[in-house]
Amino acid sequence: MGLIVRDDPPKLVDLTVREWGPAADGFALSIRQARNADPEAQAAISAVLRNIGEAPAQMTVPGGLFFFRLDITGPDGTAVPMSPFGHELFKPARNTERVEINLAPGEVTETEIPVGSIFHLRKKGRYRARACCELPTGAVLHSNEIVI
């Protein structure tokens, strides 16, 4: 068996279809439901961090999904608990990686979050989701709210 390596073109993020949360320290955060061709696929959220400042930004943040915190409420308005997979994924012992983010003014970075695997989204109905992240400066950045 061999290993095939290919260079995929950089994924373009369409910023015209996004809503943004309030800005903090020169950044804005947006979430929206990720599009999937398979209607049976579990829900996922696309989270985009944007440098809205006038200077390049460089920061070190927790790796994986540890940079983000998600608040999801179910159709009945109560907080949705994490699945066993979500609990395993977010064990503090797994939070060891650090990632360097470098963004020029106007640049974005996107992270896809598999919320259908991380949370119990089993009840029929509409779920509300919001994300936040803590910047290295201590400022907390909040996203817009979406319905899944």
Assess contact for 32 and 129: CB atoms under 8 A. no
Residue 77 has pLDDT above 90, yes or no: yes
Give the pLDDT mean for 60-77: 94
pLDDT number for residue 75: 94
The rounded distance, in Å, linking the Cα atoms of 9 and 49 is 20
The helix/strand/coil state of 7 is coil
pLDDT number for residue 38: 66
Exposed e or buried b per residue across 21-42, where buried means at least 16 C-beta atoms within 10 angstroms of its C-beta: beebebbbbbbbebeeeeeeee
Residue 93 has pLDDT above 80, yes or no: yes
pTM of the full structure: 0.86
pLDDT digits 0-9 by tens, 18-46: 999 999 999 999 999 988 766 667 899 99
pLDDT digits 0-9 by tens, 105-125: 999 999 999 999 999 998 889
pLDDT number for residue 7: 46
Domains (ranges, CATH) in the chain? Answer: 26-35+42-147 (2.60.40.2970)
The rounded distance, in Å, linking the Cα atoms of 95 and 134 is 15
